[in-house]
Structure 1
Amino acid sequence: MAYDVRAIANVVLDRAEHLGISVTNLSINKILYFAHGHFLAHFNKPLLREKAEAWEFGPVYREIYRQFSSFEKKSINARAKKLDVSSGKMVEFSIALPPNELKFIAPVIDFYIRIPAWKLVELSHEPDGPWDRIWNHLSPSNPGMIIPDDLVAEYFRQHESPGGSSSA
């Protein structure tokens, strides 16, 4: 089962807080993209229900960009929220990942969370990677172009897990 990107964003933000690391809107989008890619390659199913879009500075989840746009380039110090229809109040997204999925995804997040945002952008722009294949095609590029999961899965299956010798 794929999860709402905002719930997984809160997992990333919880990990960042636990590790004492700042996360910006730019970096959380890349961390989510890399976590999704490794998860997709390992479990052969998507981590995230929403699709990454090819934007100028790499993969972006529109829902995350909007949720945290008020922070601009500053560190995010809130959690993604949703409307609870029964109470009419905004509540934080929460999720209880199955233990095997959390055991896999936590070190992936921890690996990428330590990488500066500019380096995450650089990693996401790797030649012939999913973002590059969508962004740098023959027709004009524009934000909003979906990066298909099949491209993401293919790419991440060809690269080692985080911490290995590969750049992905």
Structure 2
Amino acid sequence: MLMNVMIVEIILFFCKKIKEGGNMNSIQKYRGLAIADYFVKKCIEQNIPVTNMSILKMIYFAHGFSYALRHKPLIKDPFLAWPWGPVEKHTYDCFKKYAANPITSISGETNDELIKIEKDKELCIFLDKFIPLAKASPFVLSDKSHVSGGPWDVTPAFKEIDEKIIQVYFSAKYGNE
């Protein structure tokens, strides 16, 4: 358990410092499922089991850190405040068939976007920093998304989390300027 918490803390700290590694002005907004498919593909390639719950938190954290470090969103779909943390519903629906089991393939719905993502080397460098989160317990990731005063915490249950709240929270906590 301590190792899971350490992995999450290291990734979060590293992402705070990522700006020093390059210029990521090329980031555009993608569907949550396309970012999830990128993570699933990488996890499968690296033999890292990843669950739906973990993928949902990984895309949420990547989206939040995109605001903090690049001052722009990564994902164009809204996140909802569900009981286990922020959820991008279409991504959830695509992978819910796996329940708590590891996801074994990408959705197959985002092939064109996935190609664009993979061609954007700076975006891939950014996204690859989140792959180790798949090694953490999904419940640790859920806890990290439930922090007091955070976007999930201040949003009524099952409602859409306001993008401005995500932007302000991540920028204030992890921003570099």
Deviation at 1:92, TM superposition (A): 7.8
User: Does residue 110 in structure 1 map to residue 131 in structure 2?
Assistant: yes
2:140 paired residue among 95, 108, 119: 119
- Larger relative contact order (Cα-Cα within 8 Å, sequence gap ≥ 6): 2
Asked whether the 8 Å contact 2:49–2:135 carries over to 1, the reply is: no
User: Does residue 71 in structure 1 map to residue 91 in structure 2?
Assistant: no
User: Does residue 128 in structure 1 map to residue 154 in structure 2?
Assistant: no
Asked whether the 8 Å contact 1:39–1:105 carries over to 2, the reply is: no
Q: Identity of counterpart residues, as a percentage?
A: 27
The separation in 1 between residues aligned to 2:132 and 2:173, in whole angstroms, is 15
User: Does residue 25 in structure 1 map to residue 52 in structure 2?
Assistant: yes
> Structure 1: which 5+ runs fail to align?
84-90, 136-140, 162-168
Aligned residue number for residue 7 of structure 2:
none
Asked whether the 8 Å contact 1:51–1:147 carries over to 2, the reply is: yes
Asked whether the 8 Å contact 2:32–2:77 carries over to 1, the reply is: yes
Higher strand share: 1
Higher helix share: 2
Partner AA of 2:83 in structure 1: E
Deviation at 1:157, TM superposition (A): 1.5
What is the alpha-carbon root mean square deviation over aligned residues?
Answer: 1.9
The separation in 2 between residues aligned to 1:81 and 1:93, in whole angstroms, is 11
Aligned residue number for residue 100 of structure 1:
122
The separation in 2 between residues aligned to 1:157 and 1:37, in whole angstroms, is 8
Residue by residue over 1:82-108, the C-alpha shift from the partner in whole angstroms, topping out at 9 and shown as x without a partner, is 39xxxxxxx68623232222222221x
Q: TM-score, normalised by structure 1?
A: 0.79
2:171 paired residue among 148, 157, 166: 157
2:70 paired residue among 36, 43, 46: 43
Asked whether the 8 Å contact 1:23–1:75 carries over to 2, the reply is: yes
Asked whether the 8 Å contact 1:33–1:59 carries over to 2, the reply is: yes
Aligned residue number for residue 7 of structure 1:
34
Distance 1:152 1:111, change over 3 A: farther
Greater C-alpha Rg: 1
Aligned residue number for residue 34 of structure 1:
61
The separation in 1 between residues aligned to 2:131 and 2:140, in whole angstroms, is 15
Residue by residue over 1:34-69, the C-alpha shift from the partner in whole angstroms, topping out at 9 and shown as x without a partner, is 011001221111111101100001000100111011
The alignment of Structure 1 onto Structure 2 pairs a total of residues equal to 146
The separation in 2 between residues aligned to 1:95 and 1:46, in whole angstroms, is 19
Aligned residue number for residue 164 of structure 1:
none
> Structure 2: which 5+ runs fail to align?
1-27
